[in-house]
Amino acid sequence: MITFHRAIKTLVVLALAGFCCLSGAQQGVALLPTPVNSDAFSKSVKVVVPEDYKIYPNRKYITIYLLDSQSDSFFECIRSSIKYLVDYGYMDPVILVGISSMNRQYDFTPEPLTQTGKTEFKKSGGAELYYRYISQTVVPAVEHKYRCEPFRIGIGHSLGGTFLIDCLLKHQELFNANIVISPNLVFDGEQLLHSAKDGRLAEAATNRFLYLANGHGDKTEEKFRATTMKFAELSKAQKSAGFHFLYDPLNNTSHGTTALEGIPKGLVSLYSNIIYPDAQYMKRISGDQEALLGDVSKFYQAGSKWTGLKLPLIPDINLMGYNCHYLGHDDTAIRIFRRGISVYPDDFNLYDSLGEIEQLSGNIAAARQYYTRGLEIVETQKAALDTETYASLLAGFRSRLQSLVKKSP
């Protein structure tokens, strides 16, 4: 069942596209060439941009890097899960990057230090090379071609999760957030657990997010579970500034399906630290407005500090503003949108949103001012928009302005 406030967010995200008659069709998967000198790595990665990517040329997006995307079915499953979470307001639009692995056992494991580790797989120890491939080839290619926020999320299952833990301990700059499902931390006599005990985790955890989950019951989950729990206990004990950690023992008895459950839960957990909780906002929205806005401001200040992002992000400003409007608090909605414009002065959608609330409140002169500014911004962005989108946006703002003429005294 779609709750009132989530339904609003779904509509608001597409609001400007709606009045401009733009298509809301899902973007296709692009293959981004990433040439390397070795056949050990994939020659391309999969990229999916948000549905509104071409409409808002000034917006940047958080990027998700999904390991094990050589499996088309796995990639499409997680892609669909992300789309659902975005559509219903649990997270903001993101750029999804799928990275393939040609040899998981080699790519995802650190150099073994014990004889057991050296013989556990036919070949292991390529994690450092794989890290260099991602950090020096994939990430630069993605961030050169696409508009990316300085915040990356890594997602890995099983050995993919092992790789993410290894990166967190050795190269924490690669991902700001890690969603790790059913990792093999038993590998090489629990090498990564010992590294964490040696103090690496304390330093690596500063201003980082880690969601760690595992199942139980089947042979593989039982093999990994005890060491994962030990790593979880170490993580819980960390007092590093800005470290957000959640250990989630899933009620899942199949190693093959823990990713399908854990990845969406991990994303929801992460975004609960980035988006002010909807339920709390809606519960308080009809009460003390000053106290609510003060708490919201504190939440986003704290979030900005550890993520390095300018929070709230634009879709969340729209969510809060329109929720206030639909519940009869236009004065608060106007304050929220004005604050949003002060942070994002070149986003024409915020001017459209503010103009609409001002118009509905009877403030025609203010509405004209904001619609006009939105139109001016669209005109400055002509070179970054395709012809159809540009024409539709112009027509939309002109229609808004014409509606004011009809209602003018």
Q: Kindly report, residue by residue over 219-269, the tens digit of the pLDDT.
A: 999 999 999 999 999 999 999 999 999 999 999 999 999 999 999 999 999
* Burial per residue of 44-53, b for 16 or more beta-carbon CB atoms within 10 angstroms, e otherwise: bbbbbbbbbb
Q: Kindly report, residue by residue over 255-310, the tens digit of the pLDDT.
A: 999 999 999 999 999 999 999 998 899 999 989 999 999 999 999 999 999 999 99
Distance CA(308)–CA(314), nearest Å, equals 16
Distance CA(186)–CA(117), nearest Å, equals 9
Q: In this model, does residue 60 exceed pLDDT 60? A: yes
- Residue among 71, 72, 90 at smallest CA distance from 158: 71
Q: What is the pLDDT of residue 199?
A: 86
Q: How confident is the model at residue 118 (pLDDT cuts 50, 70, 90)?
A: confident
Percent of the chain at pLDDT exceeding 70: 90
Q: Kindly report, residue by residue over 169-202, the tens digit of the pLDDT.
A: 999 999 999 999 999 999 999 999 999 998 899 9
Distance CA(105)–CA(124), nearest Å, equals 6
- Residue among 36, 195, 173 at smallest CA distance from 110: 195
Q: How confident is the model at residue 117 (pLDDT cuts 50, 70, 90)?
A: confident
Residue 185, CA distances (Å) to 188, 240, 341 in order: 8, 22, 46
CATH tag for 26-271 (out of 3.40.50.1820, 3.40.50.1580, 1.10.287.3510, 3.30.360.10): 3.40.50.1820
Order across the sheet with 244-249: list the strands: 30-33, 44-48, 95-98, 61-66, 148-157, 177-181, 209-214, 244-249
Q: Kindly report, residue by residue over 326-342, the tens digit of the pLDDT.
A: 999 999 999 999 999 99
Assigned fold of 278-407: 1.25.40
Q: What is the pLDDT of residue 44?
A: 74
Q: What is the pLDDT of residue 363?
A: 96
Q: How confident is the model at residue 30 (pLDDT cuts 50, 70, 90)?
A: confident
Q: Kindly report, residue by residue over 144-158, the tens digit of the pLDDT.
A: 999 999 999 999 999
Q: Which pair of structure tokens corresponds to residue 218?
A: 């089947």
Residue 190, CA distances (Å) to 106, 223, 281 in order: 17, 12, 43
Q: Kindly report, residue by residue over 337-374, the tens digit of the pLDDT.
A: 999 999 999 999 999 999 999 999 999 999 999 999 99
Q: How confident is the model at residue 34 (pLDDT cuts 50, 70, 90)?
A: low
How do strand 95-98 and strand 177-181 relate by DSSP bridges?
A: unpaired
Q: In this model, does residue 19 exceed pLDDT 90? A: no
Q: In this model, does residue 21 exceed pLDDT 70? A: no
- Residue among 335, 249, 322 at smallest CA distance from 290: 335
Do 26-271 and 278-407 have matching folds? Answer: no
Question: What does pLDDT average to over the chain?
Answer: 90
Q: What is the pLDDT of residue 225?
A: 97
Q: What is the pLDDT of residue 23?
A: 31
Q: What is the pLDDT of residue 41?
A: 64
Q: What is the pTM of this model?
A: 0.92
Q: What is the pLDDT of residue 113?
A: 92
- Residue among 324, 381, 384, 316 at smallest CA distance from 350: 316
Q: What is the pLDDT of residue 35?
A: 60
- Residue among 210, 266, 212, 272 at smallest CA distance from 240: 210
Q: Which pair of structure tokens corresponds to residue 38?
A: 């070795």
Q: What is the pLDDT of residue 24?
A: 32
19-28, 36-45, 336-345 — which one is most confidently predicted on average?
336-345
Q: In this model, does residue 36 exceed pLDDT 60? A: no
- Residue among 54, 56, 43, 47 at smallest CA distance from 28: 47
Greater confidence, 34 or 164?
A: 164
For residue 209, the SS3 value is: strand
- Residue 275 neighbours by CB distance under 10 Å: 25
Amino acid identity, residue 15?
A
Residue with tokens 């219903």, as numbered in its chain: 88
Distance CA(66)–CA(99), nearest Å, equals 6
Q: What is the pLDDT of residue 255?
A: 98
Q: What is the pLDDT of residue 408?
A: 47
Domain boundaries, the chain: 26-271, 278-407
Q: In this model, does residue 22 exceed pLDDT 70? A: no
